[in-house]
Amino acid sequence: MEYLIVLILELIGISLHVMEKISVFDKQYPECSINQIFKVFWRKDWNTVTISVIVLGLNLMIHLIINWYAPELTTIKYYLLYAFGGALVLGYGGQKFVYRFLGTAEKFLDKKVNDIL
């Protein structure tokens, strides 16, 4: 059950950042429809989401390793709450960090709007 909760919380964190970015693009480029913005985001920035999913897998693997090889760590008071909070922060913050370095949708949308104007 712990793994499922970590998975869901990290996916929520990733989704929050993706939706935040899409809403910023929607306000920044009002001449583009939300469908166009979604398509541009997924076509241009699939790599940021992929890396975030790899980090999610790494996080789950770390939990598995701790449970199998260092079970004494799970006796730390509030261990699961730290793990769950960390998953949400890692999902959101990790996606934000990766997007800062690999994001290309904004550049593409800028070019598209400049071409229209």
Continuous H helices in the chain:
2-28, 34-44, 46-69, 79-102, 105-116
pTM, two decimals, is: 0.76
Average pLDDT on 70-82 reads 86
Average pLDDT on 102-107 reads 71
**On the CB side of 93, how many CA atoms lie within 13 Å of its CA?**
6
Is 107:22 a contact under the CB 8 Å cutoff? no
- 33 has a pLDDT exceeding 80: yes
